[in-house]
Amino acid sequence: MNIDTTGLLEALVRIPSFSREEGAAADFLEEWMKNAGFSPRRVGHNLWVESCPADGRPTILLNAHIDTVRPASGYTRDPFTPCIEDGRLYGLGTNDDGGSLVALLETYSRLISKPQPYRLVFSATAEEEVSGRGGLDLLLPEIGRVDFGVIGEPTGMNMAVAEKGLMVLDCTAHGKSGHAARNEGVNAIYEALESIDWFRNHSFERESDYLGPVKMTVTQINAGTQHNVVPDKCTFVVDVRPNGMYTNPELLSLIKASVPCEVKERSTRIGSSHLPSDHPAVARGLALGLEPFGSPTTSNQALCGFPTLKIGPGDSARSHSADEYICLDEIASGVEIYCKLLDGLEL
């Protein structure tokens, strides 16, 4: 079947769908899919449909998100009134992530119209903009094993084969309090300096061709209660950006073994990703002339424990900006490229 991608996207623009407030949009899309002949399943505000039950073949997941950020203050248009001008569809969420959503749904519809060497799943998920646990995390256990994922995000239909991750570390150096005028106590600030210097200067061995080295930055520090007391505790925060060459738990273990301070991670959920150039999807994309690159922005790739490729119509620079739009020919071209990339793909 052919989907009216423009009409569907216009309808979705009219429904506010802020992160953790996606219920109305999920309700609409679920009913729309049923009327279009699909058999969607739902968990929370997440929808999915499969070409067949798991049957031993590899599973490919197509994923886009239905949530949006709140409108930027500079909007000159009503963000919830879709408007087409000069081939552009304006409205909140058109570029991030509505264009990918409707393009992937049309792609799913085309691919399942003939036999494929894989089980295909399309999903529309919530809470991507806040990396919430009510989004893809909630859905993946329902789907079962996934062998490869296509994450729809605005990349100009070039291939994000790597994506930076994130870990936030809370570090504590301990000392012993004493009077600042006397030669007593152990200054926790001085104790922290060795660890801070390590975070500033250490280089991990494995670097990414697309993302470069792991980046670690000390971003906050706090110590002391008053000027004449030697502080017995110094805390600081480190922002760590993994490069796809290490898992978050692996990096965390290396860091804890290297610094004398106490290190506690807030979370290891936001992982980095790396897809090698010999992966069948990347190889086919290169043959199609698609450019590979490393993405500095996080997406649902960060929550996938399986190989993923981030690719979609639109431009990342338009995301979260005022008067957001996507070009209608970007959606149409995106569908054609998705189909060429995936049709008959052997994993």
- Taking only the tens place, the pLDDT of each residue in 53-72 is 999 999 999 999 999 999 99
Beta bridge partners of residue 265, listed in sequence order: 169
DSSP conformation letters of 97-153: IIHHHHHHHHHHHHHTTS--SSEEEEEEES-GGGT-TTSHHHHHHHH---SEEEE--
Residue type, 139: L
**Residue 79: C-alpha distances to residues 10, 84, 192, 299, 321 (Å):** 11, 13, 48, 23, 11
Residue 126 pLDDT > 90: yes
Query: 143 phi and psi, to 5 degrees?
Result: -80, -35
Q: pLDDT confidence of 314, banded at 50, 70, 90?
A: very high
- Give the integer Cα–Cα distance in Å for 158 and 53: 31
> For 140-150, what is each residue's pLDDT tens digit?
999 999 999 99
Give residue 296's pLDDT: 87
Give residue 241's pLDDT: 96
DSSP conformation letters of 289-324: TPPEEEESS--GGGG-SS-EEE--SS-GGGTT-TT-
- Contact yes or no for 106/335 (Cβ under 8 A): yes
Q: pLDDT confidence of 36, banded at 50, 70, 90?
A: very high
Q: pLDDT confidence of 28, banded at 50, 70, 90?
A: very high
> For 287-300, what is each residue's pLDDT tens digit?
999 999 999 889 99
Q: pLDDT confidence of 79, banded at 50, 70, 90?
A: very high
Give residue 300's pLDDT: 96
Q: Centre a 10 Å sphere on the Cβ of residue 6 and count the other Cβ atoms it contains.
A: 15
Give residue 297's pLDDT: 87
Q: Which helix (H) or strand (E) holds 34?
A: helix 23-35
